[in-house]
Amino acid sequence: MTQPLKHYLQFTSLTADEYAYVFQRAALIKKKFKAYEKHHTLADRTLAMIFEKASTRTRVSFEAGMYQLGGSVVNLTTGDSQLGRAEPIEDSARVISRMTDLVMIRTYGQDKIKNFAANSRVPVINGLTNEFHPCQVMADLFTYIEHRGLTVHPLDCLKGKVVAWVGDGNNMANTWLQAADMLGFTVHVSTPNGYEVNPAIAGLSNSDCYKVFADPMQACEGADLVTTDVWTSMGYEAENDARKQAFADWCVDSDMMAVAKTNALFMHCLPAHRGEEVAADVIDGPQSVVWDEAENRMHVQKALMEYLLLGRQ
Ligand code: CP
Ligand code: NVA
């Protein structure tokens, strides 16, 4: 079976029902990977990866994942392609999508990836933009579900839960809001003044899916999951000094974890800065699942790539 052309540009690009399928499939793909069983559903398919910003996890998880599916990968960066020499994004999309089966892009503005997708013959996946990081939140949700015990209906364990977001109102925060809106949990958001989330970017259908707290401790109270991210995202480096001052009280530490539920998990998309957005004893402590999160990027993205190209198996 093949799919009609379908892109994954933000969390809302798939429905809850599609996430339930992709998570079940990711669990199977992960199990086979652990057992060294071949799973070559994308043999002879090629993934083009375009990186306009740095990456470790996204690069390795997509590249290793595509090889494990029997396919191959072409890697382009701004510096080593015509993308960095002002070839229009529309022309790049037309050309790249005639030679490959799937494209993953990490770039700056969401408008750029939207424009690429509008001119692409093949599915386009968002590997991070200034506005969203949907592959990461998909992996985080899968990790949460896995730690709570995968069930027949994997999304059930998310309903009514509280996710505390401590830190910048950035691409990860926007994506968490979209996930909460769709899947029925609540995000307790605490950011310094001037770094708030902008719900208009997330395009929420229901503003009840998040609550704003001035005090990060209050945001963490009773949370099922506490999560944070770097104070300065890629592309905002010029603001680094100002951000270090503004975010000083937004470090997830053991006091914040102590007011969350006793079985609360800690997540961070990584890379992390110990002593800034998270204390070392939290990220390296027993409630932290950051390494599972990182690994699960690969398993969920394999399921996603397979779904975008082949549909349900
Ligand atoms: N979390 C994440 O996307 O990591 P990279 O920037 O290393 O790809
Ligand atoms: N918010 C971070 C995430 C890095 C994976 C950034 O955009 O740099």
Q: What is the average per-residue pLDDT within 229-254?
A: 98
Q: Secondary structure of the chain: what % helix, strand, coil (to 5)?
A: 45, 15, 40
Active-site residue identified among 10, 68, 110, 136: 136
Q: Ligand 2, closest atom to CA 170? A: 1
Q: How far is the CA of 128 from the centre of ligand 1 (A)?
A: 8
pLDDT beyond 60 at 222? yes
Catalytic residue of the set 224, 243, 269, 299 = 269
Q: What is the Cα 190 distance to its own chain's centre?
A: 19
- In the predicted structure, residue 202 carries a pLDDT above the cut 70: yes
Mean local confidence (pLDDT), 239-244 = 98
Give the number of other CB atoms < 10 A from CB of residue 245.
9
Tell me where in the chain the CATH 3.40.50.1370 domain(s) lie: 11-133+296-310, 136-293
pLDDT of residue 3: 75
Average pLDDT over residues 235-247: 98
Q: What pLDDT sits at residue 154?
A: 83
11-43 confidence digits (pLDDT tens): 999 999 999 999 999 999 999 999 999 999 999
The closest ligand to the CA of 297 turns out to be 1
Residue 10 confidence (pLDDT) above 90 = yes
Q: Could you tell me if 139 and 293 are in contact, meaning their C-beta atoms sit under 8 angstroms apart?
A: yes
Mean of all residue pLDDT scores within the chain: 97
**Rg for the chain, CA atoms, rounded:** 19
Residue 69 has pLDDT above 70, yes or no: yes
Q: Which of 127, 4, 113 is nearest to 62 (CA)?
A: 127
Whose Cα sits closest to atom 6 in ligand 2? Answer: 233
Question: Is the pLDDT at 2 greater than 70, yes or no?
Answer: no
Q: Per residue in 91-144, pLDDT tens? A: 999 999 999 999 999 999 999 999 999 999 999 999 999 999 999 999 999 999
Nearest CA to ligand 2 atom 2: 233
State what percent of residues in the chain have pLDDT above 90: 96
In the reported structure, the alpha carbon of residue 81 is separated from the centroid of ligand 2 by a whole-number distance in angstroms of 23
- Does residue 291 carry a pLDDT above 90? yes
Is residue 48 lining ligand 2, measured as CB closer than 6 Å? no
The tokens describing 135, both together, are 């592959």
Q: Verify whether ligand 1 is closer than 6 Å to residue 269 (CB atom).
A: yes
Picking from 110, 100, 12, the residue whose alpha carbon sits closest to that of residue 49 is 100
First-to-last CA distance in the chain? 8
Which ligand 1 atom is nearest residue 135's CA?
3
Q: Is 229 a catalytic residue?
A: yes
For residue range 169-187, list pLDDT tens digits in order: 999 999 999 999 999 999 9
Ligand 2 contact, 233 CB (< 6 A): yes
Residue 1 has pLDDT above 60, yes or no: no
Closest to 42 in 3D by CA, of 62, 64, 71: 71
CATH number for the domain formed by residue range(s) 136-293: 3.40.50.1370
Distance, in Å, from the CA atom of 69 to the CA atom of 95, rounded to the nearest integer, reads 24
pLDDT recorded at residue 21: 96
Q: Whose CA is nearest to atom 7 of ligand 2?
A: 233
| CATH H-level superfamily of 11-133+296-310 | Aspartate/ornithine carbamoyltransferase (3.40.50.1370)
